[in-house]
Structure 1
Amino acid sequence: MSAVYIVKEIYIYPIKSLAGISCQQAFAEEMGFENDRRWMLLDSDNQHITQREFPIMSQFYPQISEGKITVTFQNQKHEFSISEHLEDQIYTKVWDDKSFVFEVNKVTSKWFSDRLGFECKLVKIIKTGDRKHESSRSKETYNVSFADAYPYLLIGTKSLDFLNDKLEEKITIRRFRPNIVISSKNPHEEDDFEHFKIGEVQFKNVKPCGRCIMVNNDPQNGIVKKEPLKTLSEYRNFNNSVLFGTNIVGLNPGIIKVGDAVVF
């Protein structure tokens, strides 16, 4: 009998709040997948910026090839090296978490500033431990890159199917910016996963993911609508948090691939 839970999709988001990249496989590290949210944009006050305030950020599309990241926005392209950064350390925060980062280069920062219409800089986290997040549920502290809170987000296919059955305008899983999408049997059963293995990697479930207004931003065009958050809030509101998907952490490095089974 074939396994019930199979990895269907894998995504990384090299630059926080920009579009993601669909992958056939990815290397799991403590902070998240390799090159996942290792970069983010800061404003002139060194505060991080996201699609919550600037939905147009969803229309910047990164690709990775031969040690370089190429970002495309409205047929304009810019390229920088994965390894490059300036020497001066910058102190910032990701929500309440202290973070130490380095600007990539001045030319890249100007390219983003010109297209977004305000001064900003692209920064990079370069080593594990430069940003730590304490779980409100477990009180454990995790090393994270620039994800909102945890290194990985897992979603089951039936959770999206159940939601789409309630929506007039169907949406794709990209609205929820998962790292790992698995085939599932029942809606939201991933909330109750504990420990499991995918490919070479052992994972631990931390807590279901509370969602914000960003899920209403259509990644195809950057237009913010009322859904799906309105409908989700009608049946997935727990203690004033609208839940969809679950936050997980990796317990060892290794490769996972599309087609891998989830083993409990």
Structure 2
Amino acid sequence: MVEPSAVANDVSLWEWSGSAFDEGEEAANWFSDFLGKPSRLVRFNEASECRHVKSNYARSYTVKFNDMYPFLLLSQGSLDALNNRLPEPVPVNRFRPNILVEGCEPFSEDLWNEIKISDFTFRGGELCYRCKVPRVNQETAEQGPEPTETLMNFRSDKILRPNDEKHQGKVYMGQFLVCTNYVPETGKTIKVGDPVLVLKAFSSYAECLI
């Protein structure tokens, strides 16, 4: 990494915009050559910037260059249930969770409002609506209609929340989380095999956040 004096301005991600540390020409040239378009690699500027999670779901929590939240939870049971409906199964990396749990009923994680893993407590933010990325085969870079087409049949906002007045045609897979514990800059660890304890759960999709 380069010295933090190299600053890139006008960096944006979703609704946030600000400055970041530019990682230099070597990294920029590598990504530009690989992607076939001018690119820069930047690092979040913690000294002067702050990016908040959506305030209507997880007030006062922050992220860096994560997509929207620091954690995305998905269960193996949910992936298996989806794959049983698909013409061809998809791997879990299509959905990019950083916490994958086993041993629960398919999609039961949707209703988890608060869970504990090891010494850490996590609170549900909102269900993760899926963009076009899960439709891209990461081995071939080819894009198809699945799994979005199948998800639309049983995981859309219209299906999950039929009484809502406004439906946006979104599909959902996984739930965003925030950690309610203080975590120092040095970090803490949760590991494969840690038990997951459900502390609070919603009774229906009418209560959860989508």
Determine if the alignment matches structure 1 residue 249 to structure 2 residue 178: yes
Residues 28-43 of structure 1 correspond to what in structure 2 (within 5 A)? none
Aligned equivalent of 2:6 = 88
**So what's the TM-score if we normalise by structure 2?**
0.80
In structure 2, runs of 5+ residues without a counterpart are 158-166, 200-210
What secondary structure sits across from 1:241 in the alignment? Answer: coil
- The reply to whether residue 231 of structure 1 matches residue 150 of structure 2 is yes
Q: Does 1:106 align with 2:25?
A: yes
Matches within 5 A, 1:148-163: 148-163=67-82
| Structure 1 spans left out of the alignment, 5+ residues | 1-80
Q: CA offsets, 1:107-126, max 9 Å, x none?
A: 11011112222211110114
Higher relative CO (Cα under 8 Å, sequence separation at least 6) belongs to: 1
Instruction: Report the Cα offset of residue 256 of structure 1.
Output: 0.1
Instruction: Name the residue aligned to 1:194.
Output: 113
TM-score by length of 1: 0.64
Q: Select the structure that is richer in strand.
A: 1
1:93 is paired with a residue whose SS is strand
Percent identical among aligned pairs is: 31
Question: Which of 126, 148, 153 does residue 207 from structure 1 map onto?
Answer: 126
Distance across 2 between alignment mates of 1:167 and 1:235: 12
| Count of residues paired in the alignment | 182
Larger radius of gyration: 2
Residues in 2 aligned to 1:91 and 1:234: alpha-carbon distance in whole angstroms: 40
Return the alpha-carbon distance in structure 2 between the equivalents of residues 261 and 180 of structure 1: 12
Which of 176, 182, 191 aligns to 2:95? It is: 176
